[in-house]
Amino acid sequence: MKHLDILAHIFLILGLGVGVVAVYRLRFDSTDQFLVILVITFFYLLWGTTYHHIKGEIEKKLFVEYLLIALIVVICAFLVFVI
């Protein structure tokens, strides 16, 4: 199970890293930056729910926590990049 944790977290870090690079490369187009952040947020939600489902730890409370974090990120990104 330890190998799964390491691989899953490496995948998460790589995915988020690709997103950060994409946001940086699109630094002159705020609309595209917002879209990249939406994709990163969806990736985070998908990764988190899949990871905890595989480990058998998925609960409604945990899923709501992931949704709330994603919602906060989307609202902040909207306020920064769209408005």
Alpha-carbon distances, residue 46 vs 12, 15, 16, 29, 52 (angstroms): 10, 12, 13, 26, 10
pLDDT one-digit tens code per residue, 59-76: 999 999 999 999 999 999
Domain boundaries, the chain: 30-83
User: Which structure tokens are listed for 35?
Assistant: 């879209």
pLDDT per residue over 10-31, tens digit each? 999 999 999 999 999 999 999 9
Whether the Cβ atoms of residue 11 and residue 17 lie closer than 8 Å to each other? no
Please count the other Cβ atoms lying within 10 Å of the Cβ belonging to residue 17.
10
Structure tokens that stand for 21 in this block: 């690079």
DSSP state of 78: I
